[in-house]
Amino acid sequence: MVLNAELIGGDYLDGVVNPNSSGMFPSSVIIGLPKAKGRLFLQQLEKEEFDLTLCGRLKKREDIFIGFLLGIIASIVLEIVKYELGTH
């Protein structure tokens, strides 16, 4: 309940927070839909979480891996062409 109240107070969620008699903690929270700021924050968290996974780390390095594979394939194709042309 406190976390939801903080998200509403931070303008991430739409909703109403009713404080208790001391005013320090919420006694009830009515939650609405996430606001644009909240959706952007969620997307950022999801991206950061994905980047920490194995797939995320591999995705960052896929360009290097693809370049490496293309280099190997190019050298194999070159050798095949040389062999077929008899210049080997």
Using one digit for the tens of pLDDT, what is the confidence trace for 27-61?
888 888 889 999 999 999 999 999 889 888 878 78
- The number of domains in the chain is 2
Q: Do residues 33 and 46 share a domain?
A: yes
Domain that holds residue 40: 1-50
Residue 23 has pLDDT above 70, yes or no: yes
Q: Do residues 41 and 81 share a domain?
A: no
Q: Do residues 31 and 61 share a domain?
A: no
Return d(Cα 45, Cα 35) in angstroms, integer.
Answer: 15
- Token pair 């960052």 is found at 60
Q: Which amino acid is at 4?
A: N
- 83 class by beta-carbon count within 10 Å (0-12 exposed, 13-18 middle, 19+ buried): exposed
Q: Which amino acid is at 51?
A: D
- Which of the two residues, 44 and 3, has the higher pLDDT score? 44
Q: Do residues 81 and 59 share a domain?
A: yes
- Which of the two residues, 59 and 88, has the higher pLDDT score? 59
